[in-house]
Amino acid sequence: MSQATRGLAEFLAGLRYEDLPQSVVERTEDLFLDWLASALGSQGQHPIPLFERYAQKMGPADGNCAVLVNGKRTSAYFAALVNGASSHLIEQDDLHNSSVLHPATVVFPAALAAAQDLGKSGRDVILASVAGYEAGIRIGEFLGRSHYRIFHTTATVGTLAAAVTVAKLLDFDTEQFLNCIGSAGTQAAGLWEFLREAADSKQLHTAKAAADGLLAAYMTAEGLTGAKNILEGEQGMAAGMSKDADAKWLVDGLGTRWALAETSFKFHASCRHTHPAADALLDLMQREGLAAEQIAKVTTRVHQGAIDVLGRVMVPQTVHQAKFSMGTVLGLLAVHGKAGLVEFDAFSLTDPRVAAFREKVSMVLDPEVDGAYPQRWLGRVEVETVDGRHLQGAIDEPKGDPGNTLSRPELEDKFQRLLAYSGARTPEQGSELIAKVWRLHQLEDVQVIA
Amino acid sequence: MSQATRGLAEFLAGLRYEDLPQSVVERTEDLFLDWLASALGSQGQHPIPLFERYAQKMGPADGNCAVLVNGKRTSAYFAALVNGASSHLIEQDDLHNSSVLHPATVVFPAALAAAQDLGKSGRDVILASVAGYEAGIRIGEFLGRSHYRIFHTTATVGTLAAAVTVAKLLDFDTEQFLNCIGSAGTQAAGLWEFLREAADSKQLHTAKAAADGLLAAYMTAEGLTGAKNILEGEQGMAAGMSKDADAKWLVDGLGTRWALAETSFKFHASCRHTHPAADALLDLMQREGLAAEQIAKVTTRVHQGAIDVLGRVMVPQTVHQAKFSMGTVLGLLAVHGKAGLVEFDAFSLTDPRVAAFREKVSMVLDPEVDGAYPQRWLGRVEVETVDGRHLQGAIDEPKGDPGNTLSRPELEDKFQRLLAYSGARTPEQGSELIAKVWRLHQLEDVQVIA
């Protein structure tokens, strides 16, 4: 039995609300609000209604747990499923850089559904979510870059992060945590292959990760046992799904390093892999006073992961695919100054100026950028102007990263913009939700979050 | 886009009941009855009641679909889940040799649940189940031996087999089959690591495979798209989970080779990897008139897969683990002449004669046996007697294999024995169920199977 996996389980079992620094508590509320915005912002968009219909067909007609996009109540499993699907669609949810995990979209659907089912408080949700972030991020780091080349980490590791979150709400001891991690790890799945045709699997992945993680924890509470060494064992996750796993990450800085505080908020509405180059280009254009038409060529110097994820998309066929097109993202910024949800819908597929700019953009692997990744996401672009100048743009921390983060007013603004985008809630309802989330640490009952 | 995956999807979309040879139809009924026995035979045994409680907590209180072990009705998802869990517990369900897939435990729970939900006939169930067997077996062969070393094929490939089964009940066209296979493949999960502590994951695996496959098909019917090349793509299943995948198997003999007819029925109540050596020892003991006490040493000559799966268990701690102990299985046969469910419960952990025999048994890798595997499961044993003789036992086709199969009376006998073992049904109820299954091809409504 590995000491690293056991060490992680002991930490999770022993973690108390009183152990959390105030900054971590507040940051969890920030992340929760940002997640709520992402979930509500997808209302009505394909394929979210498909998940709603599936939940109505297979689940109970009522229950304790809120489906955010339609206000219906159901059982915890289906609330986690639909909220997990809906919070990753518009590509506005958070990201942890070095694990390449989007924690919010798997942790919070599980946390809210289980807490509403079990009658838990806001403090319970915060504590459980911190546990989910701390475990999920470390397991993502443990599985390494080789895992991410084939597997969608937010799907695979997300199942474990969600399971740990619900396990903490169920107040598990160390042995129960080990069983629960075993039952979650053996359900972990999700392949990047869907990107080629922009299939809907990304929503299936986050839906299933949140719901299957919850299932693992509830079944553990019933008495189901799991593999105690699912992460490191000879026939476990690392053996089957990684070539560069390193157990040291599983216990890295437990109790002193708060990985949750290292997460980044999304600023542009595109795949996070486009953001470093996007910010570097924006910075360069502002510095030089350049307009889109003055640019002849853009070479983005990127890490391998960006090429793996973005390299497939040449001419995007859907708005969702456009968010994975480096040329389109840079084109929106160069031509319209923003790459938000509104700009994607209005311009990403049909604006000839954006399409023309897209053709000017290429990606090349940069050893420095790749070497720094995934701890740091460096932005490097080379621009050739129509009048023959060669310019370079560089940023070391994209907007939304911990050292360049969003303030609470910026988060509130993003929240209201996403609600307005989908029409899921009125601005007044949005303000009420914001007020509830900023008091999450005092809420006796999280039923009011719906 | 791969021609092999597309070829498989085209075959599945075009397959009609009229295309099935009579022998395949009858064999499907045989396999269905054998599956029903396995599902009912586990009633009341840990961890099945945990799945029942979970389904009651998360699912609707009523529905069209039967949970076999408790007679309750629920939605298709939860019926598939509980019936998938229960039909693999007692290790009496079927096996396909070269794919190392247990098809019944994933195909039939999905088939019955979806057919009851959709109001389909017995012929529909037969056709859909054949589709699930043909696809699942070929996908298992495609992923190869390297996959099985780490991944539990019945879990991973089982998700695809179940999805294809339900897809056929939903009468999908080729494009829908491709989407459905994509959504199933990206959910495929299940690691062997749980064997080390005899954890409960095997039931979780078959439960989830059946239910997640059903989910993939229902979501495809709603309009969810999936990766079109999930099996062979650069970031698909083979890329992530196999080192020796070969696409030729995906279309091997479609329409002429009926892989369903190649499956084996379980005769002993133990892991199938023990059966070749078990039958070889039984044959040798009968031939030589040997009693257990006359045997000093047994060397079983086995394939690598047997060592991978059975090699962990030295002294079994549970009855379930005993089914994975080569020494215990051979001990039961040598001392008691049988290794059925009754013998496992009564003698596998506590009988000192069985324990003594267990200590005499070892496994060694045999190049001939390993080379024939997984197409053929050869049984080879070397026995040293207490009076110094060296004897050899060999069988080329274990009892239950296609060339040495169980007749309908033998299947009926096994069915009634498993029902009596668990007490799930009276012999009269058992006889009624048998009569229904032998008329499955004529049943207008499969609601009566419950």
pLDDT, tens only, A204-213: 999 999 999 9
**Cis status, amide bond into A374, omega within 30 of 0:** yes
The confidence score (pLDDT) of residue A6 equals 97
The confidence score (pLDDT) of residue B1 equals 56
Beta strands in B75-152 (DSSP E): none
At B76-123, the pLDDT tens digits run: 999 999 999 999 999 899 999 889 999 999 999 999 999 999 999 999
Q: Are B224 and A200 within 8 A, CB to CB?
A: yes
Contacts of residue A295, defined as CB under 8 A and 6 or more positions apart, other chains included, come to A285, A334, A357, A360, A383, A384, A385, A386
Burial code of A321-345, b = ≥16 C-beta within 10 A, e = fewer? Answer: bbbbbbbbbbbbbbbbebbbbebbe
Do B259 and B142 touch, CB atoms closer than 8 A? no
The confidence score (pLDDT) of residue B122 equals 98
Phi, psi of A270 (to 5 degrees): -130, 175
What is the maximum span of chain B, computed from C-alpha positions, in angstroms? 71
The confidence score (pLDDT) of residue A73 equals 98
The model's pTM is 0.91
B227 CB neighbours in chain A (<8 A) are 191, 193-194, 196-197, 199, 201
Question: Tokens 């007679």 map to which residue?
Answer: B71
Among A201, A215, A219, beta carbon nearest to B183: A201
Question: Which range has the top average pLDDT, A338-347, B311-320, B380-389?
Answer: B380-389
> Which domains are seen in chain A, by residue range?
3-266+411-448 (1.10.4100.10), 272-395 (3.30.1330.120)
Please give the DSSP secondary-structure letter assigned to residue B271: -
Which of B386, B187, B76, B277 shows the shortest CA–CA distance to A211? Answer: B187
Question: Tokens 């007697």 map to which residue?
Answer: B385
Contacts of residue B150, defined as CB under 8 A and 6 or more positions apart, other chains included, come to A235, A239, A240, B191, B192, B241
Q: Are B182 and A196 within 8 A, CB to CB?
A: no
Let me know the angle formed at the C-alpha of B403 by B397 and B404, rounded to the nearest 5 degrees.
70
The confidence score (pLDDT) of residue A2 equals 73
Do B162 and B209 touch, CB atoms closer than 8 A? yes
Q: Are A195 and B235 within 8 A, CB to CB?
A: yes
Residue B385: exposure state from Cβ atoms within 10 A (0-12, 13-18, ≥19):
middle
Do A230 and A181 touch, CB atoms closer than 8 A? yes
Phi, psi of A429 (to 5 degrees): -60, -35
Strand pairing category for A295-302 and A65-66? unpaired
Amino acid, res. A75: S
**A237/B269: higher pLDDT:** A237
Splitting chain A (450 residues) into consecutive groups of 10 residues, what average pLDDT does each group show?
90 98 98 98 97 98 97 98 96 92 98 98 98 98 96 98 98 98 98 93 98 98 98 98 97 98 93 95 96 97 93 86 95 95 94 97 96 93 97 95 92 95 96 98 96
Residue B190: exposure state from Cβ atoms within 10 A (0-12, 13-18, ≥19):
buried
Would you call B213 helix, strand, or coil by DSSP? helix
The confidence score (pLDDT) of residue B172 equals 98
Confidence of residue B320 (pLDDT cuts 50, 70, 90): confident
CB pairs under 8 A between A and B: 202
At B41-84, the pLDDT tens digits run: 999 999 999 999 999 999 999 999 999 999 999 999 999 999 99
Percent of chain B with pLDDT over 70: 100
Output Rg (C-alpha) for chain B, integer angstroms.
Answer: 21
Q: Are A219 and B197 within 8 A, CB to CB?
A: no
Q: Are A58 and B53 within 8 A, CB to CB?
A: no
Q: How many CB atoms lie within 10 A of CB B16?
A: 7
CA distances from B402 to A254, A357, B273 (A): 56, 64, 16
Question: Tokens 């996996």 map to which residue?
Answer: A5
Please give the DSSP secondary-structure letter assigned to residue A264: B
Do B157 and B188 touch, CB atoms closer than 8 A? yes
Over range B178-204, report the average pLDDT.
96
- Please give the full DSSP string across A352-385, using - where no structure is assigned: HHHHHHHTTEEEEE-HHHHHHTTT---EEEEEEE
Indicate the helix (H) or strand (E) that contains B73.
strand B73-74
Rounded CA gap, A210 and A111, in Å? 9
Tokens of B150: 């780490």
A57 CB neighbours in chain B (<8 A) are 75, 218
Contacts of residue B297, defined as CB under 8 A and 6 or more positions apart, other chains included, come to B360, B362, B383, B384
Q: Are B225 and A57 within 8 A, CB to CB?
A: no
The confidence score (pLDDT) of residue A339 equals 93
Percent of chain B with pLDDT over 90: 93
Rounded CA gap, A206 and A203, in Å? 5
The confidence score (pLDDT) of residue A1 equals 57
